[in-house]
Amino acid sequence: MNLPETVTIIEVATRDGFQVESKPIPTHLKVETIEALAEAGVRQIQVTSFVHPKWVPQMADAEEVCRSISRKPDVTYSALALNKKGVERAHAAGINHLDLSISVSDTHSRKNTNVSLLEAMKNLREMVALAGQEKMELRVGLQCVFGCAYEGPIPTERLLKMAEEIFSMEIDVFSLADTTGMANPLQVKQLLSKLLPLLGDTPVILHLHDTRGAGLANLVAALECGVTYFDTALAGLGGCPFIPGAAGNIATEDTLYLLHSMGVETGIDIAKVAQCSLRLEKFLDRQLPGKMYRLVNGEAMSS
């Protein structure tokens, strides 16, 4: 098996994980979680999203979260925006790394952002231009790339055409999201074999959900293709509020255990990360989807 020596983990629980929780999460707990993740060695954290609180109430404190974090100089703190207003808010809040993405499914696009695919691409170009003017680092990507709960499989031609349009923009990182968790390892390898040659030196991030239990298998398939950046979430938190049945992201602790056991370094202390998940489990008052966060015991599993 051809595996990389190191992998970069992007923690998304404090955005993707929290956005679907019905119980309001206090700002101080969000901030404490972000700071604890940084202390655990996580070097890229998606801290919030600048969206309308009417649609995602959990993100109503985006500015306060950004203002309250004690930032470490070697950690990238990013945020999501869905429109130009969100880009402006993120910049004003001191966010220098912005995440933008659009769906390859017209139905999902309309339900998620109330615009068609054509409108979404037009809006994306405007957001990229605005963020570029503000000298923000840009991660831009596509959602539902392995299938849509509403439309089923996505035509490869459509996906590649949209990807090429994004590649023509001034972006720093490209991302692919299995928003519905419909991917399998063969699909992952087939898609990456078509996309990676088009990317050149642009890094690609894979955002996997574990809806059908294939998340980590898909991660290994991507590793074998040369992908070294992955979104994960504490204890498998997450999901999409506009996709029925969408389960959480691949769990950070499960991913770390798998990578470390295969000799792939991340620079992250799995025991410290698990403590973050245990605190969230206690607050949310339920067992979370991940497995390893409950098995990690003190420093025995640290890496």
Domain boundaries, the chain: 8-295
Looking at the predicted structure, is the pLDDT value of residue 269 above 80? yes
Mean pLDDT of 205-215: 95
Beta carbons of 104 and 143 less than 8 angstroms apart: yes
Per-residue pLDDT at 303: 46
| Residue 240 appears among annotated catalytic residues | yes
Calculate mean pLDDT across residues 168-194.
96
pLDDT score at 201: 92
**What pLDDT was estimated at residue 82?**
92
Instruction: Report the pLDDT averaged over residues 228-235.
Output: 98
DSSP class of residue 236 equals: G
The string of pLDDT tens digits covering residues 135-154 is 999 999 999 999 998 899 99
Give the pLDDT confidence score for residue 248 in this predicted structure: 84
* pLDDT value for 28: 99
List beta partners, residue 6.
265
Q: Quick check: 19 and 250 in contact, CB under 8 A?
A: no
CATH 3.40.50.12160 is held by the domain 8-295? no
Phi, psi of 152 (to 5 degrees): 80, -150
| pLDDT score, position 240 | 62
With 70 as the cut, is the pLDDT of residue 299 above it?
no
Coil, helix or strand at residue 146? coil
Q: What is the mean pLDDT of residues 86-104?
A: 98
**Which one is catalytic: 66, 148, 225, 240?**
240
Q: At residue 80, what are phi and psi to the nearest 5 degrees?
A: -100, 145
* DSSP run (H or E) holding 293: helix 292-295
- What's the rounded mean pLDDT across residues 272-285? 98
Residue 245, pLDDT score: 53
Say if residue 242's pLDDT is above 70: no
pLDDT tens, residue by residue, 8-40: 999 999 999 999 899 999 999 999 999 999 999
pLDDT at residue 300 in the model: 45
Look over the chain and give the mean of its residue pLDDT values, rounded to a whole number.
94
The CA-based angle 53-231-273, given to 5 degrees, is 90
HEC letters along 180-233: CCCCCHHHHHHHHHHHHHHHCCCCEEEEEECCCCCHHHHHHHHHHHCCCEEEEE
pLDDT for 301 = 47
